[in-house]
Amino acid sequence: MINILLVDDHPSVGEGTKTMIEQDSEIRVTVALSALEALDKVQKASFDLILCDLNMPGISGLELSKRLIQMDPDRKIIIYSGYEIGSHFNLLIESGVSGFISKTSSREQLQQSIRCAMRGEAVIPISLLKQLRRQEVQLTRSDKSIQEVSINEREMEILNEVAAGVSNKELAALLHVSQRNVEYQLTRIFEKLNVRSRSEAIREAKRIGLISMEIY
């Protein structure tokens, strides 16, 4: 039996995908609706492979993948997303994931991808494979420093509120802290992302997948 942990913040998508995958009697799927729930479940049970959505509120799929692989370098993770992941490709590969599959994939494609990953094979769409053939993969200085970034839950909450346009004063009231405390936490976030302003922090957080590309 192959035990899968599916992490997706949309309950209907999670249950639909679970039903689709479990048409293979040799695969059992457990659904987690958030990164925090996924982190809790991996502490309590053993999973052979994790299917992880990329854009989730709070802790993103990229950050979750990094944390899970830090906990277990041999962990197998496939990014399962409905969005174009080309802009995150280098960072995801560096994080150690086994591959990628689109949410538009058929049941057969999804089940085959799971079995490929279980055999230790990489799961990469043809479009990305062609992209790799066309251009040399390079990590910029910024990309390298990002690998060391570890944003905690409170900082992720602040980043999402900043991206939504919430002011420092409003953040202080929301978090029940002083405005000075908010400014201090923002400074720490800026340092981790190697940026100098709110707008730069939002752009960088979107670029590396910490917050959804849909958030402004």
pLDDT tens column, 68-122 = 988 898 899 998 877 665 555 666 667 678 888 888 888 888 888 898 888 888 7
Residue 66 pLDDT > 50? yes
Please choose, from the candidates 50, 12, 58, 18, the residue with its C-alpha nearest in 3D space to the C-alpha of residue 34.
Answer: 58
Whether residue 176 is contained in a domain is answered as yes
> What is this structure's pTM?
0.60
Residue 141 pLDDT > 70? no
Residue 168 pLDDT > 60? yes
Average pLDDT over residues 161-187: 88
How many other CB atoms sit within 10 Å of the CB of residue 124? 17
How far, in Å, are 92, 188, 191, 204 from residue 76 at the CA level? 13, 32, 31, 27
Please choose, from the candidates 75, 207, 108, the residue with its C-alpha nearest in 3D space to the C-alpha of residue 149.
Answer: 207
Which is more confident, 37 or 120?
37
The whole-angstrom separation of Cα 156 and Cα 36 is 12
Residue 207 pLDDT > 90? no
CATH number at residue 195: 1.10.10.10
CATH number at residue 93: 3.40.50.2300
pLDDT for res 147: 46
Whether residue 188 is contained in a domain is answered as yes
Q: How many domains does the chain have?
A: 2
Domain extent for 196: 153-208
Token pair recorded at residue 115: 């079995």
Whether residue 172 is contained in a domain is answered as yes
Co-location of 128 and 70 in the same domain:
yes
Residue 126 pLDDT > 60? yes
Whether residue 141 is contained in a domain is answered as no
Average pLDDT score, the chain: 81
